[in-house]
Amino acid sequence: MYNILVPVDGSEPSKRAINEALKLTKGREDQYQITLLYVSTSPAYFPIYAEDTTQLVLNVHELERAQGNKLLKTLKDQLHAESDVKVNTKHLLGSPAKEICQFAEKEKVDMIIMGNRGMGAFGKMILGSVSNRVIQEVNVPVLIVK
C-alpha cells in the first residue's frame, strides 16, 4: 500500500494539500493510505519569562493537544465523507519540520504532500521554512501545494 503523508495545521495550504492527496488517490483508493500529521509546537520554542511556568506549560500542552485532536478528527471525517481511501492520523509535539521528517523516515512513507506555508506563529515572517526544511531532509518525493 502506498502511504502518503499530509502534514496539516488547519491553514488553507494544508487543506489544499489534502485535496491534492485525494485527487492522486481517486479511483485507486484501495491502493493508498493517507496519514494526516499534526504537530503541536512545544512551548519550549517560545520561552516564557515567569517564576513558575509549569502550570502554564501544562495548560498550553493541553490546549494544543485538544486543538490538534479536534482538527485531525474533523479532517478525517471530511476525508471519509469524500473518499474510501484509508486515513490514519497522528499528533506529535515538537518542532514541525523535525517531527515531519522523523515521522516520514520512521513510518517509511512513500510521499509527502504539504502546503507551502502554514499557520505557525512566525509563518508570515518566515515563508515556507517548514516545507523548505522537509524538502532538504527527506529522501522521498515531496509535493508542495500553493
pTM here is 0.85
What is residue 65's predicted lDDT score, i.e. its pLDDT? 86
DSSP state of 138: -
* Cα atoms found within 13 Å of the Cα of residue 47, Cβ hemisphere only: 2
What is residue 57's predicted lDDT score, i.e. its pLDDT? 57
The residue type of 141 is: P
Retrieve residue 60's grid coordinates. 498550553
What is residue 118's predicted lDDT score, i.e. its pLDDT? 62
pLDDT by 10s per residue, the chain, length 146:
999 999 999 999 999 999 999 999 999 999 999 999 999 886 554 555 555 555 555 567 788 888 999 999 999 999 999 999 999 999 999 899 999 999 999 999 999 999 987 655 444 444 468 999 999 999 999 999 98
Q: Please name which of 48, 55, 46, 38 lies closest in space to residue 118, comparing C-alpha atoms.
A: 38
Q: Which residues of 54-90 are buried (b: 16+ CB within 10 A; e: fewer)?
A: eeeeeebeeebeeebeebbeebeeebeeebebbbebb
Is the distance from CB of 138 to CB of 35 less than 8 angstroms? Answer: no
What is residue 124's predicted lDDT score, i.e. its pLDDT? 43
Query: Which class for 118: exposed (0-12), middle (13-18), buried (19 or more C-beta within 10 A)?
Result: buried
In the chain, the number of structural domains is: 1
Q: What residues are paired with 5 via a beta bridge?
A: 35, 112
Domain that holds residue 87: 2-145
- List the CATH number of the domain containing 124: 3.40.50.620
